[in-house]
Amino acid sequence: MIPFDFIYCRPDSLKEASDVYIQLRNEGKTAVYYAGGSEIITMCRSGSIRPDAVIDIKNIPECTVLKIDAQKLHIGAACTLNQIKESKFFPLLGLACGRIADHTNQCRISLGGNLCGTIIYRETSLPLMLSDADITLYGPEGQRTVPFLAVFNGRMQLKAGEFAVQVHIPDWALEARCAHIKRTANEKIDYPLVNVTALWKDGFMRAAFCGICSHPFRSGQIEAVLNDRSLSCDVRAEKVLGLLPEPPYGDVEGSGKYRAFILRNTLSSLLEDAENGKI
């Protein structure tokens, strides 16, 4: 139960959405952009947020696009994880979407919500970090399209009132060799203890991670080690542990040491599979 009333706005255009945000702010009200709502509902229920208004972006045409044109795949921020998975346009992103929550929630959770939310894993960001994706944002200062990595640093760096509209993925990435490995405490459907996502470009392995640290990341140093064929797979996996941007993350789902153990095993077998042509 959400124990308070709130205003529901359903704008039809990007500008209307931004305008209503500004209007609400000027009235001293807090507003959140909304598409799927799974996280907003949970947080309102638990009392950790109490927005005066939600702005539903599902009726904005740009936010529901899911198409390929001119060498790019465009995905609207309000597209659900299940739509992305079933479109099969970007298999690696589809794999990520298919392992977040259960099917019912995959039909509700949006790409924008997964990227911009507060749950720390943001698993859809991993394929985007690896694929030279761009992202279009809209806000009170207008629209901008920038490299995804320019505004994603473990979490989205949005300006006040700004929201995600679309991501754009270059077509080379859609068919590229890739791997997605998610390890959980016990269940198939759960938060990741470790998620390792890899994409190869011109024979070079790119890798992004979440679960192992308190935020998703991609690291040039780690990728250099992963691609250093002079070292055995086990040694490379071990070395990666020393290059994490922060000590392994630990919580009730799994301690940091255990996550490190899983990451080493996962990387080691991923590298072996890659070298043996199994990926």
CB-based contact 53:7 (threshold 8 Å): yes
To other proteins, the closest distance from the beta carbon of 176 in angstroms equals 28
Question: How many residues interact with other proteins (rule CB under 8 A)?
Answer: 22
Binds other proteins (CB under 8 A): choice among 87, 143, 227, 255: 255
Would you say 6 or 200 has its CB closer to other proteins?
Answer: 6
Q: How many Å apart are CA 137 and CA 119, to the nearest integer? A: 20
Would you say 219 or 265 has its CB closer to other proteins?
Answer: 265
To other proteins, the closest distance from the beta carbon of 257 in angstroms equals 8
Which residues from 150-189 bind other proteins, rule CB under 8 A?
A: 185-187
Binding flag, residue 45, other proteins (CB under 8 A): yes
Residue 256: both structure tokens together: 């940091």
Binding flag, residue 200, other proteins (CB under 8 A): no
Binding flag, residue 47, other proteins (CB under 8 A): yes
Would you say 191 or 249 has its CB closer to other proteins?
Answer: 191
Would you say 107 or 119 has its CB closer to other proteins?
Answer: 119
Residue 266: both structure tokens together: 């996962």
For residue 122, the 8-state DSSP code is -
Binds other proteins (CB under 8 A): choice among 57, 133, 222, 262: 262
Binds other proteins (CB under 8 A): choice among 29, 132, 265, 272: 265
To other proteins, the closest distance from the beta carbon of 48 in angstroms equals 11
Q: How many Å apart are CA 271 and CA 226, to the nearest integer? A: 8
Binding flag, residue 252, other proteins (CB under 8 A): yes
Binding flag, residue 253, other proteins (CB under 8 A): yes
Binds other proteins (CB under 8 A): choice among 58, 235, 258, 272: 258
Alpha helix positions (H), 27-121: 38-46, 81-87, 91-97, 103-106, 111-116
Residue 22: both structure tokens together: 């500004």
Matching residue, tokens 């806000």: 139
Would you say 109 or 169 has its CB closer to other proteins?
Answer: 109
Coil, strand or helix at 118:
coil
Binding flag, residue 190, other proteins (CB under 8 A): yes
Given the rule CB under 8 A, which residues bind other proteins? Answer: 1-5, 45-47, 185-187, 190-191, 251-255, 258, 261-262, 265
